[in-house]
Amino acid sequence: MSVRYLITTAKKNTWKFDVPVLFLGKWCTLYSEKKHWEGIDHKVLPYHWDNRDKLHKDYKYSITLMNELMPIISNVLNKIHGLDKTEKYWRMIIAPWLGQFIQVMIDRWSMIDQAFSQYEISGTTILNSDINEIVPNNMDDFCSMIEGDTWNHYMYTEIIKFRGLISSREIEKKYESPHIKKSKFIGLSNTSFLSRLLWKINYHLTKNNDFFFVDYSISGKRQILLDLLLGQVINIQPTPILPIIVESDSEKMRVNLLDKYEAHNEFESFLSVIIPKCIPSIYLSGFKELRNSVKKSHCWPLKPKVIICSTAHNSNDFFKVWVAENRIENNTKLVIAQHGGNYGSARWNFFEDLELSIADYYFSWGWKKVGFQNIKPMPSLKIDRHRRQMSPNAHGGILIITGNLPRYSYFLSSLPIGPQVDEYFSDMFSLVSNLNSVVFEKTVARIYPYKDYQWSQKDRWINAFPEIKFDDNSKTMYQSVSNSRVVLGTYNSTTILEILAANMPIVLYWNPEHSEIRKSDEEFFDSLVQAKILHYNPKQAANFINNNWENIDEWWSSKKVQKSVKLFCEVYAKTSEKTLYEWKKNLQNVVNNEII
């Protein structure tokens, strides 16, 4: 076997430049840092989840492990906090973290395993620090940490040390303070006197409301109308601002968390050690204060009959505890409303599966799923709002709407994972390189505006296409779409559903090997393929655009295309002319357990 020095992340203070090295993955070799690694004698380890069958198998294994661990952790947390709560209560609070953490650890473990099985590792550099410094305070901290090099370096180090893969003489140790910022507050940062006064007044007016909405994409005007239809006072109260008060978790508190767990293999043994070390402090030393704050906050309705949310159940720890308490004390129903694309069609999606398991009712955007009676297809308030903001411009060009994902895997879904995002960029550039000069002249790229994840999106575009025009990200996507003749969608996302629902001309391309569709839904995507809307080959997609550029409108308005769009939207982007009335009717049915 080839002998190489192992480099696990992009942290250059752990690199060697004078010996052959093995980069654990493409997350090490940043596009912006080419000058530092191109001249090194290096190899980049292939990604284990390029085998997507393995990815799917590992996903199912992660769900099995989470379900095995939930009752054990629930019992221990009850003992730690002197409570007698059900597993359903604790699942609401910790399953979003536990499920993601297990999936992340399967990935990190597998890459270390692959490196040592395929190469003779001559050594590695580890950064010594107190692991408590990288323990997240809450779920928001965790979601932020797992995207970065520092947290991942420490996780790879923990795996190597646990398995004893390198002798102490082959490990170069350096000290580094992680300098990871942790959350100090839960909720919004607007603490102005006027805001707090308005919220206090609003609480007293709405404390007896039966229905409470959190973080759902609905305009203020439509929220007011829906509240009025439901016969309740209009609510504007956001998540309260609360300090996160955590103390140093006692060693006994963490060590005892999984001491009753019987592992079946070495990886599970590692999990029984690393989970107690890494569980967010807010579930341990900070939980009593969090729970007390929830009970004393007086910010949301006292005894709501129905709570409706879209994403707060994943990362808002205050909200999760508030919901868990209300479901016990007031028999409150939790309705989770679908918040984005990929749901309902992806062969696997962790948050879809989790949400279906914790929601009393799930409002989908049109789809159903075998075995789940709690799904109610509903017109999407989000899509219904945004579809009205878009219409094609016959004199416009082609708008490429790009996506982006972290360099490191975080939760598992049928999308490009981790280093596969690099292939996503390559495929997209292959498509653009095959556009003819007339079309390219009218091409505008809209860079993913929220996070770059150190992929250097704009630099990649400029280096590949120096003449490319970029969209103005200060405009909303909907404004930019309306300035365009046709849109190019590049991944299975919310965006394509909004544009299809607006009946706006769109051509889709993605790699089917990285965007697997569940078999029960293939007919709807096959319909898009037959209508030439969806393409699985970048060159073919480009050729279609080139050949139809002058008659895009004629193609889009054809019976075949319109039939395909209508069929697809009925299942994945449902809308209605009576959206608010349907929501009113079905939310009232939830109260009466009459959902059909």
Plot region of 503 (φ>0 → left; ψ -120 to 50 → alpha; else → beta): left
Q: Which of 518, 488, 490 is nearest to 504 (CA)?
A: 488
Q: Which of 273, 491, 542, 502 is nearest to 393 (CA)?
A: 502
CA distance 202 to 212: 13
Q: Which amino acid is at 188?
A: L
CA distance 507 to 564: 13
The model's pTM:
0.94
Q: Give yes or no for a contact between 122 and 3, defined as CB atoms under 8 angstroms apart.
A: yes
Q: Which amino acid is at 110?
A: S
CA distance 355 to 351: 6
H-state helical runs in 250-311: 251-255, 266-278, 287-296
pLDDT number for residue 188: 47
pLDDT number for residue 388: 81
Question: Beta-strand (E) ranges in 221-353?
Answer: 242-243, 306-309, 333-337
Q: Which of 579, 503, 592, 492 is nearest to 216 (CA)?
A: 579
Q: Give yes or no for a contact between 270 and 162, defined as CB atoms under 8 angstroms apart.
A: yes
CA dist 87 → 70, 77, 78, 268 (Å): 7, 10, 10, 21
Tokens of 207: 């404390």
Q: Give yes or no for a contact between 378 and 392, defined as CB atoms under 8 angstroms apart.
A: no
Cross-sheet strand order for the sheet of 306-309: 211-214, 306-309, 333-337, 361-364, 375-377
Rg (CA), the chain: 25
pLDDT number for residue 130: 74
* Homologous superfamily (CATH) for 386-572: Glycogen Phosphorylase B; (3.40.50.2000)
Plot region of 554 (φ>0 → left; ψ -120 to 50 → alpha; else → beta): alpha
Residues 6+ apart with CB under 8 A from 132: 248, 249
pLDDT number for residue 296: 83
Per-residue pLDDT tens listing for the chain (596 residues) = 799 999 999 999 999 999 999 999 999 999 999 999 999 999 999 999 999 999 999 999 999 999 999 999 999 999 999 999 999 999 999 999 999 999 999 999 999 999 999 999 999 999 887 777 889 999 999 999 999 999 999 999 999 999 998 876 667 776 666 666 676 666 544 557 777 777 778 888 888 999 999 887 777 888 899 999 999 988 876 666 566 666 665 666 777 788 888 999 999 999 999 999 999 999 998 999 899 988 887 788 899 999 999 999 998 999 999 999 999 999 999 999 999 999 999 999 999 999 999 999 999 999 999 999 999 999 999 998 888 888 888 899 999 999 999 999 999 999 999 999 999 999 999 999 999 999 999 999 999 999 999 999 999 999 999 999 999 989 999 999 999 999 999 999 999 999 999 999 999 999 999 999 999 999 999 999 999 999 999 999 999 999 999 999 999 999 999 999 999 999 999 999 999 999 999 999 999 887 66
Q: Give yes or no for a contact between 517 and 345, defined as CB atoms under 8 angstroms apart.
A: yes
Q: Which of 29, 174, 44 is nearest to 111 (CA)?
A: 44
H-state helical runs in 455-493: 457-464, 477-482
Asked: is 188-238+300-379+576-591 a CATH 3.40.50 domain? The reply is: yes
Tokens of 222: 């439509």
Residue-wise pLDDT tens digits, 212-229: 998 877 778 888 999 999
Residue-wise pLDDT tens digits, 19-60: 999 999 999 999 999 999 999 999 999 999 999 999 999 999
Angle between helices 350-358 and 87-118 (to 10 degrees): 160
SS3 292: helix
DSSP labels for 524-542? HHHHHHHTTSEESSHHHHH
CA distance 459 to 315: 32
DSSP labels for 145-185? HTTSHHHHHHHHHHHHHHHT-S-GGGEEEEE---------E
Return the number of other C-beta atoms located less than 10 Å from residue 367's C-beta: 20
DSSP letter at 454 equals T
What is the DSSP pairing of strand 242-243 with strand 185-186?
Answer: antiparallel
CA distance 243 to 258: 29
H-state helical runs in 172-265: 193-206, 220-229, 251-255
* Parts of the chain belonging to CATH 3.40.50.2000: 386-572
Cα dihedral: 428, 432, 433, 438 (round 10): 180
CA distance 3 to 122: 6
Q: Give yes or no for a contact between 491 and 514, defined as CB atoms under 8 angstroms apart.
A: no
Angle between helices 317-329 and 87-118 (to 10 degrees): 140
CA distance 124 to 15: 8
Residues 6+ apart with CB under 8 A from 229: 580, 581, 583, 584
Tokens of 305: 């009959």
CA dist 469 → 218, 238, 451 (Å): 32, 39, 20
Helix, strand, coil percent content, the chain, rounded in steps of 5? 50, 15, 40
